[in-house]
Structure formats: C-alpha cells, structure tokens
A = this chain, B = another copy of it.
C-alpha cells in the first residue's frame, strides 16, 4: 500500500551522475549541487537517496571498481581459444567494447588519491594485474612455447597502449594515434609470432 520505491533506480542515477562529476572535477570536485544538476533532482533528495557526500564518493568508487571487474570477465569470455590474443587487440583498440570514458577518468582520480584511499588503490592495482593476466593467458594459449617474461612484456605493452589511448581521449588526439597504438600492439604480437620457441634475452 505504500508508494512504490524507486530507491535503487535513483541510487543508480545518482552514482552515475557522481561518476561524471568525478571524471570532470576529480574526487574533490564532487558536490551535491553538481550531482543535483546532473540528475535534475533537488539537492536534499540526493542526500535522502544516496547518503552524505562521503558515502556517495565511496559508492562511486566501488561501483566503478565492480564495473572494472565485470569488464575483465566479459573481456576474458570474449576471447576464443585460438588467436585469442589477436581478438583481444581487436577488442581493445576498435570502438567495439570500449569502456566508458568517464570510468577511465575515475580510475585516474583514484590513482591520484591513492594515499587517501589505500584499500581502493590496492583493489585497482589488483584489477590491472588481473586484466593483464587475461591477456597473458591468451598469449600463452596462442604461443605455448614463449617464455613467460616475453609473454608478460607483450601483455603489459598491449594493456599500456590501451590505457594510454583511453586516458588521453579527453584531449581529442588525432585519429591516427589510435591506429598507431593498435599497430604497436600488433607488432608486439608479431614478435611472438616470429620468435616463439627461439627467444633470446630482449
């Protein structure tokens, strides 16, 4: 008999809006007023649904972190058993399956505030490791003879190129830069192609 609750839906709206604020202004730039403007809701309502400023910031951070977690599993599942490393590169550097640009900026904000958010920073580091590990696994499936060190180097290179493209996106870099990044990633795989089983120290 009560009025139906929209709490969870509103909470989601609010967290998404707060994420946009974090992306633009950083963690310190999150104000209830900005969230209110972004959502079209009145400021006191923001607090009613999502708690105080600190709770909202925590919610954004955990939301983004869990989003990253999902991204990793989706990414891992999208890789076929053979030539998975090439599929990975396609996924990462074609618009297909890109991450939300705002999320990447939240990522950077947490990194910058690592001192004040040690637990979150650690989770983020773990995520980067897990994400890279997915690429490493794909590489090892495709190139079973490759040395672990080389597989790690290539995987880290691919992930670094991906992060870089995404994190520079707000600067609106020339389109060619994305192509260069993808080509560089492919060059790293080419090395494995040409040297699998016959590595020397790099």
Residues of A within 8 A of B (CB): 23-29, 105, 108-109, 111-116, 121-122, 124-125, 128, 149-150, 152-157, 159-161, 163-165, 167-168, 170-173, 176-177, 180-181, 183-188, 190-191, 194, 202
CB pair B112 A26 closer than 8 Å: yes
Do A157 and B167 touch across chains, with their CB atoms under 8 A apart?
A: no
- B171 near A161 (CB under 8 angstroms)? no
What residues of B have a CB within 8 angstroms of the CB of A150 in the complex?
Answer: 183, 187
Report 22 cross-chain contacts, Cβ distance below 8 Å, ordered by A residue.
A24-B112, A25-B28, A26-B28, A28-B29, A108-B112, A111-B167, A111-B168, A111-B170, A128-B171, A150-B187, A152-B176, A153-B183, A157-B161, A157-B184, A159-B164, A160-B160, A160-B165, A160-B181, A184-B188, A188-B188, A191-B191, A194-B194
Partner of A156, one of B105, B184, B202: B184
A187 to B147, CA, bound (A): 13
- A80 to B76: give the CA distance in the assembly, Å: 43
A152-B176, A153-B187, A176-B152 known; A171-B114 Cβ under 8 A: yes
A82 to B169, CA, bound (A): 34
Contacts of A108 in B (CB 8 A): 108, 111-112, 167
